[in-house]
Amino acid sequence: MTILNVLTKRASFLSTRAFSTSSLMMKDIKNITVIGAGLMGSGIVQVAAQANFKVTMIDTSDAALANGTNIISSSLKRVARKKFADDQAKQTEFIDQTMRNITTSQDAEGAAKNSDLIVEAIVENIDVKQKLFGSLDKVAPKDTIFCSNTSSLPIGLIAEATSEERKKRFAGLHFFNPVPAMKLVEIIRTENVTDEVFDALNVFTKSVGKTPVSCKDTPGFIVNRLLVPYMMEAFRIIDREEASVADVDTAMKLGAGMPMGPLELADFVGLDTMKFIVDGWEKDGKLDPALTKPSEVLDKLVGEGSLGRKSGKGFYDYTKK
């Protein structure tokens, strides 16, 4: 249970943007490194910088970093117009202040040496993630918290590349896309994570304007564990030719109150991402095989390169205006 002095420190943090925890073993979180400048990584950078944390955005090329910076800049303009609709000066000040909190670099190990929190948002490949965290573990301060933004890979398996002490400070911090707009963050706690680290991540999540929920290190965590099987069953309805794509989506929007139908949503998420998650679950073997049974239409679309919105075509054709 969280004791009174921790609650007091939490309240103080939220009013001053200065980070406190209940443990003398934990230092304040001030400097954050986010590895990966894509949509997810740049979004995490943005919300942390908006909350006045100092953030280093890492990627492997100048082009990737420039793209991430452009994503942030465009998003901040939208946020500023909404926050200060009638005040151009405040819009400019808000954008400039946030951008001053962001630096970019291709040197992950160099940034790690001065980081209090490292969040990884790179390709969903266990070997690549383990290699990254294994190298960072050698150079980061012993009290730096490590987090992965993975949506599907086991946190404990990623953490195997690090020391026993680091495993106590290694958790999942799963943001949702688009990060600036989506309010939820899943905090994934392995059996090794200490109370102090878990509490610190809860406070950090709230400080960047998000609502944390916690989950054990299980396949799909909470959201994807519920959402992916639902979308997979929609795919199988198409496989069995029981209804059309449009009718499946219309049924769930008008009959179940969903803002998007399952096939629309799959196109938004990315059909390759859907297949990656389900194939991983099937290989892992921890879930009922009925939940991970392949879909013919999903395999066909991914094989054709029709990945959804990002490729211009999936269940729907986005090239037609």
The answer to whether 295 and 236 are in contact (CB under 8 A) is yes
Catalytic residue among 120, 148, 186, 207: 186
- Please name which of 48, 43, 51, 49 lies closest in space to residue 15, comparing C-alpha atoms: 51
Asked if 224 is an active-site residue, the reply is yes
Catalytic residue among 75, 115, 148, 151: 151
Token output for 1:
């249970």
Asked if 186 is an active-site residue, the reply is yes
Token output for 215:
């989950």
DSSP code string of 242-262 = SS-HHHHHHHHHHHH--SS-H
Catalytic residue among 115, 148, 149, 224: 224
What is the torsion angle, in degrees rounded to the nearest 10, for the CA atoms of residue 309, residue 314, residue 317 and residue 319?
Answer: 40
Token output for 240:
């069995």
Catalytic residue among 174, 207, 264, 295: 174
Asked if 174 is an active-site residue, the reply is yes
Asked if 241 is an active-site residue, the reply is no
- DSSP one-letter code for 105: E
| DSSP β-ladder status, 145-148 and 170-175 | parallel
Exposure letters 255-291 (e unless 16+ CB within 10 A, then b): eeeeeebbbbbbbebbbbbbbbbbebbeeeeebeeeb
The answer to whether 163 and 170 are in contact (CB under 8 A) is no
What does residue 116 show for φ and ψ, rounded to 5 degrees?
-95, -25
The answer to whether 119 and 35 are in contact (CB under 8 A) is yes
- Please name which of 107, 99, 94 lies closest in space to residue 72, comparing C-alpha atoms: 99
d(Cα 271, Cα 301) in Å, to the nearest integer? 8
Angle at 206 (CA atoms; ends 109, 116), nearest 5 degrees: 20
Catalytic residue numbers, as ranges: 151, 174, 186, 224
